[in-house]
Structure 1
Amino acid sequence: MTDDYGKILDSALSQKQQILLRSDISNYEDDCIEVICHLCALKKNIVVITFGGNTRDISEILEYRKADISRVYYIDAISISQGKGTPPVKKVVTVYKPNSFEDINLYTMVFVRDLGIENTVVVFLSIHKLQEYENEDEIGFFLYYYTDQLKRLKVPKIILTHSGINYVLAQIISRNADIVIPVRKEKMVA
């Protein structure tokens, strides 16, 4: 993440905005890690909700990059359904199914309540994987309700997406964001 985009992100976080970060598909996983490292450096309490990446792998990469993961909490919505079991990671809650929206919402609110709203940020990773488990209408309703709750609490949310996601899902996600920030400069096609 460049300094310019980091400053834009920091400003949006200070304003408690609902943020959509767009990445190029080829850089998506690295950009996800970079954003979490950036939040760790800001000493934020981070609730990471993942629908794709294994929390153990994410945690190990963050540690390898020397990020202070003492404030990182996970809601893992994928490991059990993929047969990987509960990863041996501290501060992780595993949801039975990725489309268990009530559970995801409940666990998020428990983390937010316990961590306090002043310094907490919620981060969604691999939300595009939800289309394998739920239709777009249900995803849209969940995001609308979820975003509304976080806005009322003044807790910022970051959803990281990439250039390869379905157009309809991209529109649903962008409607639930106050600001859209590209993580890297888009490459111009000649």
Structure 2
Amino acid sequence: LMALRVNFVGELGWELHHPIDQQVELFDAIVEAGEEFGLKHFGVYAMESMRLEKSYRMWGSDLTREYSILEAGLSRFVRLKKDEFVGKEALEKQKETGVPQEFVTLEIEATDADAMGSEPIFRDETMVGRTTSGCYGHSVGKSLALGYVNAGNSDIGTGLEIEILGDRLPALVIPESPCDPENEKLRA
């Protein structure tokens, strides 16, 4: 068993890496040990809400082969001055000329439905991007979405619209990590 003090929800927590044949036994032991502390199970929708409140990107929705690591706003994880790697030349060119798409966190004035991903994003009457994830952020009490917009539409405070179930709803580009932006919970 390897316990890593990392998580996907922005809270102080752990990921447990173990052989799959130990999963049931380990799960049962954790549940039993957690009873005296009021341990509760939570599901994927709670996890999704918490990860969006931290602007954490998920492979397959927010991170795909369609967008580069620079477009995803994750340049801090790339060392272009280091050894050769597949795609380095393309990233160097993109860094020099600018990215065509930029990753954003959005706050939506939603009512009955939240974004889920793949909703079009508009500025005025022009489609400028699409959402990649979305849901209600229970800790911040707001409808949130992550997505990509054409370069020049990602400044904090930029007003956009997201089409949800046929209705265009006002959305605002906000800073990443609307919940605990200083990562105080993670550093506790």
Normalised by the size of structure 2, how large is the TM-score? 0.22
The structure with higher relative contact order (CA 8 Å, sep 6+) is: 1
Larger radius of gyration: 2
Structure with the larger helix share = 1
Normalised by the size of structure 1, how large is the TM-score? 0.22
Structure with the larger strand share = 2
